[in-house]
A and B are shown apart, each in its own frame.
Chain A
Amino acid sequence: MFKYFTRALTQRIFLAFLISIIAHAVVHLAPGEPSEVDPSNPLMKPEDIAQIRMAFHLDEPLYLQYAYWIRDLVNGDLKSFKDSQPVLPKIWERFLNSLPLFFVGTLIVWCLSFPTGIYAAVNRGSKYDRLSTFSSYALISLPSFFLAYVAILWVVNNFGVPVLGMRTFGLEEASGISRFMDRVWHLVLPSFLSAMGGVAVLSRYVRSQMLEVIDQDYVRTARSKGLDEDTVIYKHALRNALLPFITMFGLMLPAMVGGSVIVEQIFAWPGLGRLGYEAILNRDYPVILTLNFIAALLTLFGTFVSDVLYAVADPRIRLQ
C-alpha cells in the first residue's frame, strides 16, 4: 500500500516538472508581447521597449527565463508584469473570491445530478427520461453566456434587484445579516449558470452508470430475494454505481482555476478565471504561468486523491 502511494507521488512530481517546462515554452513561444511593450504607441522609442524587455528578462534565452521564473516563484518574489504586485498573494485573493462560487456551483451539480439521473435510469424510456435527455443535450449545447444574458435580463426586469458583482454596490451601511444574505443572493445566478453544464453532464453519467449496474446479476438476485424496489435501487445498485464518481470528484479540482471564465466575465465577478483571462490578454507571463502551474498541480493532486480513495474503496486496485 505504502509502495503504491510513493510510486504514485514520485510519478506526479516528475510529471509536474515536465508540465512546467512545456507550459513555460508554449506560453513564451506564442506570438505577442506583454502589453507594457506597446508597439502601436507611436511615442515609445525602441530603447524604451528594449529596457522593458530587459527588465522582464524577455531578451534572455528561454531556459534562463524558465530558471528565473522558478527561482522567483520559490522565493515568493514573482511579480506581475501588469502592476508589479507579487503574484501569489494576488492569486490567493482571487481564489478566495472564486471559492464560494465554486463551492455552491459544485453543491448544485451534485445535488441535482443524482436525483435526476437515478430517476431517469429507473424509468428508462419513459417520457421523463426522454425529456431529461433532451434538456441535458440542450444545456450542453447552449452557450452559457446566452443563458446568462437571458437570466440577467429576466431577473432584473421582473424582480428589479441587482445581480451583478459579488455584492450590491453601496450597501456598506446595512446590518451584518443583510450583507451576508446579499452576498448569498449574488451567488445564486452565477453559481446556477456555472452548474448548468455540470448538471447536464453528470446526470447523464449517473444515468448510464445506474443502467449498467441495474442489469447486473446481483441486482437481479436482490430483487428475487424479495427486497423492496427502493432497497434494491438505493442500497444494492447505487452503492456499486458510485465507484467511478470518485474519479470525477478528483478531476473537478482544477475547474476552480479556469472553470467559470465566461460566467465571471459577465457577472463582473473578481475571481480566478477572470484573473487568468485578463493575464492572457495582457500577456502577463508570470500570472499565466503560475495559474497554469497551479492548475496542473491541482489536476495531479486530484488524480492522486482519487487514486487513493479508489484504493481505499476498492481493494482490487491495490493489488496491481
Chain B
Amino acid sequence: MTLKNALLFIPFLVFLGLLQSYLWVPTYEDQTTAGEGRLEKFISAISGDARLLNPIVAADSASGFVVSHVFDSLLEIDENLRLKPHLAKEYKVSCLATIVVGEGFSPESLLQKISPHLTSEASEIRVLEPSILIRLIDPDGLGPLKEQEVKVTRPNRIEFFLDDVDPAFFEKSLKILGTEYGQEVTGISAVSVSGEISEGLISIATDLAPITEIRPVIDFDLRKDVTFHDGEAFDASDVKFTYEAIMDVRNLSPRRSDFEPIESIHIRDSHSVRVIYKRPFAPAIFVWSYMGILPEHLLNSVALNKEMDARGISGTARDGFGVRASKFNRSPIGTGAFKFTDWKTDESISLARNQDYFDGPPEYKELHVRIIPDSVAREVEFKAGAVDTYLADPHQVARYLQDPAYQPFTSLGLGYTYIGYNLRREPFQDVRVRRALGMAINIDEIIDYVLYGEGQRITGPYPIQTDWYNHDVQPEAYDPGKALDLLKEAGFHKNSEGFLEKNGQELRFNLISNNGNPQRKAILTIAQNSWRKLGIRCDTRLLEWAVFLKDYVNTGDFDAVVLGWGLSELDPDLYQIWHSSQTGPQQLNFVGYKNNEVDDLIENLREEYSRTQQVEMARNLHSLIARDQPYTFLYVGRRTQVVDRKIVMVKRSESGAVVDYEKLRPTPTGNLNYFFNRWRKLEAIPDL
C-alpha cells in the first residue's frame, strides 16, 4: 500500500537528511588547529545581548563591555585606581572664586585684603559684568512651562582663578572682612530685574547674587594624534558635543545625573577644553574616566537630519529624534583600540583591531562577543574551546580550580548584601538590638553554603579592595549567647512560651526581600531560623521586585529587608544612601539612618579634593556606620572569570619585537581585563 509506505518512508528521508549534515560540520579540534585565524580571534561569552552601543546611553554590562573597547575616555583609571591621562594629555584642577565687592572696597583693595589666605597665586582676575540676560522658566506660571528672558543687574563682583580647590577659602577670608561683609549688597534688594516677572522668578534671580562662590574648573589638554575609526580627527568639539548629548533630554541618558554638577564646557582652542562646575563636588571628575567620547561629525544636528531624511522620518517623530534613536548605536565609531565590524542580534558582536590606535594596537586581531544566555551552554562552549573566556557561576568554580587546562581568576565584586532595619520603628532604634540581631547570624556559614565559599565578610559601606575601606573595623563574631545578653540589657526577657518580650510586647517583626534571587531567599530563611533560636518571631516574605520597591521600600512600610547595593570603586561619596536628608519616600536612605556626625563627614567628603584627606574621612565614616549598625553587613560576592590557559600576556621591547610572554594577571584590585590589549593566544599551553 503506497500510503503506508509513504508514512514510513518520508520520516526516514527527513531523518537521513538532517543527520547527514553531521558529516559536514568541523569538530572542535579541527576548528582550533585548522583555521590559523582562530589564534588571533578572542571570543568572549556573555548572557545577554547589548542594547545600544553608545557610551552615553549604554546601561547594561554587555553594551558597556563593547563600548569600553570601541570608545575612549579623557582620563583612565590605572592599576591602583588612580586617575591617569588618556585622550587628554594633561589635566589640571583649579577653581574660579567669585566675591561681591562690598561698599568701601575696590576690586584691588579687596583682593589685597584676602590675599594672605591664598595658598596659591590668584590669576586671571576680572570684574564681572553687572548686567546679564538670563533665560528662566517661570515656576508660578500656570499652563505650560515657558521660558522667559529677563535682564538681571547684580552688584559688582570679581572673579579670579585659584590653583587648587579650597571650599573653606572664603570662610577664612570672611573672618577678616567681618561677618557682615557684603550683606548689604546681596539679597533681593541688591538685584534689580527688568521686565514683567512674577514673585517666584525674583527669588530665583536673587539666588544669582551670593556673596561668595567657589566653582571648580578642570582644564583638559587633548591629544592631537587621535583619529576616529572613520579617519576624522578627534578634537575639543567632540568633548563638548558628548556632554551636550548627555544633557539632551531626547537621549534619555542614564548618565545625565552624573553630569549635572557641570555648569558649562568651553572650547579654548581646537585641543583644549575647560569644564566649569556649579559647586565643589570632588567625585565629579570621575565621570571623565568612563565616559567615551562621541564623534560630533556623525551625530550633530546636520548628520541627524540627514539620517532622518534617509529613513523617511517626518512630522512629530522628528522632534524626538536624537542620538538615542540613531543607527549609529548599532554600528558605532569611536577612537578605541577596536573598531566595530558586525552585530548579529542575540548572536554575536564582532570588533576588529584598530591598527592606528594611539596607545599602540592590541595583540588580538579580532574580538568577538558571543551571546549565550544559558550558563551550562556557556560552560560547554568554553570547555570545547569555542569560547576563550566567561564568567563562571559559583557552583562551576570548583571544577576549574582543580583543572590544569584553565586559568581561573577570582576577584571580589563591588556590591554587597545586607540586612537593613527600619530605624523609624521599635525595637530597631536601639543599637543593642541591631547588634544582637547581627551577632545571632552565622555569616561565615552563609558564605560557605549559600555562596559555595565565593564571598567575603564585610563590615561597612565601601568595597574591600579600595582605600576607602577601613580594615581596622573588626567583624562582629557569631555569638548567640552574647546576643541574648544584649537583648536582655535592652529590656527584653523570655516569657512563658519562650519568646522574648518587653513591657508585655512580644519581639516580632517581618523580614522581606525580592523574589528571583535565590541567595537572598536562603538568607531570609537562615536569619529567621537564627533569630527563632533566640526567641524572636520573624515572619518572612518574598515579593516581586516592582511591588517590593513600590509598596514596601519606597513607602517605608517594612521592619527589615535583605537587599544589596552595587558600588563604584572610585567614588567615596555616600550621600544618597547614608545622608539624613535622603530618608524621604523614593530616596535611598530608606532605613531612615540619621547621624549628625556622619552627615557632616559625608558633606565635607564631597567637597574635599585631597586624596589623603578623602581616605581618612572615608575610613572614619566606615567606622561610624559600622558602630551604629543600621545594617547587618553580610558579604561581598566573588566573581570568577575563567580563561583558556593558552592565552598569555605579550611583553614587547621598545622596537616592537616580542621579548617574552608572561602569565595573565589581574590588577591589585582584581581587574583582569586591564591588560587585555597585551593578551594573545598561543598554539600550545606555555610553560610559565
Contact = CB atoms under 8 A, between A and B. Distances in A.
Given A79-B325, A168-B26, A235-B3, 10 more contacts: A48-B254, A115-B8, A164-B386, A165-B372, A168-B25, A170-B35, A182-B25, A188-B22, A268-B371, A278-B49
Contacts of A43: 254, 257-258, 576
A59 interface: no
Interface stretch (A6-14, A105-113, A251-259, A301-309): A105-113
A84 B325 contact: yes
Contacts of B28: 160-162
Given A112-B11, A159-B27, A234-B3, A266 B52 contact: no
A173 B35 contact: yes
A181 interface: yes
Given A48-B256, A84-B329, A164 B25 contact: no
A55 B252 contact: yes
B549 A39 contact: yes
B257 A266 contact: no
A318 to B, nearest CB: 27
B141 interface: no
A160 B586 contact: no
Interface in B325-344: 325, 329-330, 344
Contacts of A278: 48-49, 346
A31 interface: yes
Given A169-B43, A169-B348, A181-B24, A266 B374 contact: yes
B374 A160 contact: no
Given A41-B254, A44-B257, A270 B386 contact: no
B168 interface: no
Interface stretch (A124-132, A148-156, A218-226): A148-156
Interface in A41-55: 41-46, 48, 51-52, 55
A265 interface: yes
Nearest to B321: A84
Given A169-B386, A170-B38, A184 B51 contact: no
Contact of A185 (B24, B31, B550): B24
A173 B37 CA distance: 10
Interface stretch (B13-21, B469-477, B626-634, B643-651): B13-21
B550 A31 contact: yes
Q: Is the interface of B mostly helix, strand, loop or mixed?
A: helix
A240 interface: no
B3 A188 contact: no
Interface in B28-54: 28-29, 31, 35, 37-38, 41, 43, 48-49, 51-52
Interface string A156-200: 100111101110111101000110011011011001000000000
Contact of A52 (B252, B384, B546): B252
Nearest to A36: B252
B545 interface: yes
Q: Name the residue among A164, A185, A230, A275 with the largest chain B CB count within 10 angstroms.
A: A164
A268 B577 contact: no
Given A156-B380, A181-B24, A230 B371 contact: no
Contacts of A191: 18
B52 to A, nearest CB: 5
Interface of B: 1, 3-4, 7-8, 10-11, 14, 17-29, 31, 35, 37-38, 41, 43, 48-49, 51-52, 59, 249-250, 252, 254, 256-258, 260, 317, 320, 324-325, 329-330, 344-348, 368, 370-374, 376-377, 380-381, 384, 386, 544-547, 549-550, 565-566, 576-577, 586, 588
15 contacts: A31-B544, A31-B546, A32-B545, A36-B252, A43-B257, A112-B11, A156-B380, A160-B384, A165-B347, A166-B347, A170-B37, A171-B26, A265-B374, A270-B345, A270-B347
Nearest to B576: A42
Interface residues of A, number: 74
Given A41-B254, A170-B35, A185-B21, A268 B51 contact: no
A177 B37 CA distance: 21
A268 B375 CA distance: 11
Say whether chain A's binding surface is mostly helix, strand, loop, or mixed: helix
Nearest to B317: A77
A93 to B, nearest CB: 7
A215 interface: no
A44 B254 contact: yes
A188 B19 contact: yes
Given A41-B254, A268-B371, A268-B373, A115 B24 contact: no
B373 A170 contact: no
A159 B22 contact: yes
Contact of A104 (B18, B24, B320): B18
- Most A CB contacts (10 A, CB to CB) among B20, B31, B576 go to B31
B5 to A, nearest CB: 10
A319 B380 CA distance: 59
A213 interface: no
A118 interface: yes
Contacts of B256: 45, 48
Contacts of B43: 169-170
Contacts of B347: 165-166, 268, 270
Among B25, B31, B252, B344, max chain A CB count under 10 A is at B25
A234 B6 CA distance: 11
Contacts of A111: 10-11, 14
Contact of B52 (A84, A231, A234): A84
Nearest to B348: A169
B612 to A, nearest CB: 26
A274 interface: yes
A118 B17 CA distance: 24
Interface in A262-289: 265-268, 270, 274-275, 278
Contacts of A41: 254
Pick the most buried of A48, A159, A187: most chain B CB atoms within 10 A of its CB.
Answer: A48
Contacts of A217: none
A275 B252 contact: no
The 10 A-B pairs with the shortest beta carbon distances in the complex, nearest first, are A181-B24, A270-B346, A31-B546, A32-B546, A184-B21, A185-B21, A111-B11, A230-B1, A160-B27, A181-B21
Nearest to A153: B380
A232 to B, nearest CB: 10
A45 B257 contact: yes
A95 interface: no
A245 interface: no
B579 to A, nearest CB: 12
A302 to B, nearest CB: 24
B544 A55 contact: no
Contacts of B386: 162, 164, 169
A55 B26 contact: no
A85 interface: yes
Q: Count chain A CB atoms within 10 A of each CB in B260, B371, B381, B550 and give the residue with the most.
A: B381
Contacts of A173: 35, 37
